[in-house]
Structure 1
């Protein structure tokens, strides 16, 4: 006997193809899709619609009981899965960045050119390479999947024009694993809160997650140290132009590559320029500009008509506590004090 159910007023399995498509601008960020089933073909369709064309096969004789939940935070999809049987799977390329965190049980991944790797409780890894078919085995596992589109990685990366390729599925060190794990937890906590995010706050959180992936996992944009060619005469003018672009577009979800394209230099050259002349990265400068805008809004606002959280969210600070800490470090007082007086 099998069953499937859905959250009231939410899409059911027959509607997942449209609801779980790559784009989600026609949905509210608070949408939640829930799927519970012991019907193997229904579960296979769910995996196909949620990830990519998938074939699954039970392995072990248990009832094929599966539970799935998806939330969104802007462009990031946040999934929780509980596969209460053993199954093998084969799937087409996902074309997205998919991070997995195993909570219980194991996931056996077939890694290209490396054989099978076993992920156990606590492990964080890339579930698959975005451009390659993937296969493996899920063994009575409860795990989380956090996904975003591949083009976001390109936009955030510091590289010199060549497409960024991920070279491994495990973080480069224990410290890198802790870092990416903490970032995933941060973004997932925002999704779990259920409150709609402003476009800027959602984009900022997604950018942080993409940056964490590039910092934690081996890739072609990592560790390519090298000083960009000097163009001493044009540096100050280019820097001023980049600063002007950042300040004029602080209310938009811009990333490093947008600024670099505007001033016609590579992202790496732009990074070097800011560090040399301002002793900070372009994105740190952007956060400082947004913090300044938030400060001005707090000074001008009526506390009866707005809150610190609303102003922080308006300027891309999704986590109010982190915003308050940054604000206090910069202005010497809490944002609530500025708003109140």
Structure 2
């Protein structure tokens, strides 16, 4: 049993096996491919006789590396623990691991050499499973709030799908009313408003990475579930201080 890891850990077994049971009751069979262990979440692990390998990344280090991709402030990284890595992602991880291991296990390796070995491995981890940065207030990081945190992370990981806060509550083993109360108290808004803001953020990212020759504001907005473009533009301007067309034009 563990009350929750404070490092990001990638693990894989070469012999034997077992399963992990999260605080929300979800059971996950331990796969043969590399996978990310639950972070800041209580869980129990059940193992047969086995051989297991793990790589640990300190939270500040990995979260700083992640800013190179999401271009925001350093925040907690939430991995989608149910996603299966692609064969290409697994191969990138193995190549980076094989190249980094001789350096990282050499105590005499110079600091610059170690840094240049660590960074590709961290980037390979960030390609191993889908993830999102989730800026959570301290109360939601407490073990007693693990199910609410899981529901909030569910909203981040499934924002592109036709989900509702009720789906997130069900996935976390919560009553929808409990999720609503906790979100209003700790996030200052309802789960519905929080999900809308996630989708606005994703819309902004897609607009910023596109050009007017490739797409239109309407197409991107509809992909993220915004039907009424006037209301979308108003909500977008209120959140980001500029209109979506300005973001698309760069």
- Greater fraction of residues in helix: 2
Structure number with larger C-alpha Rg: 1
Higher strand share: 1
Which band: TM-score by shorter chain?
0.3 to 0.5
TM-score by length of 2: 0.48
TM-score under structure 1 length normalisation: 0.36
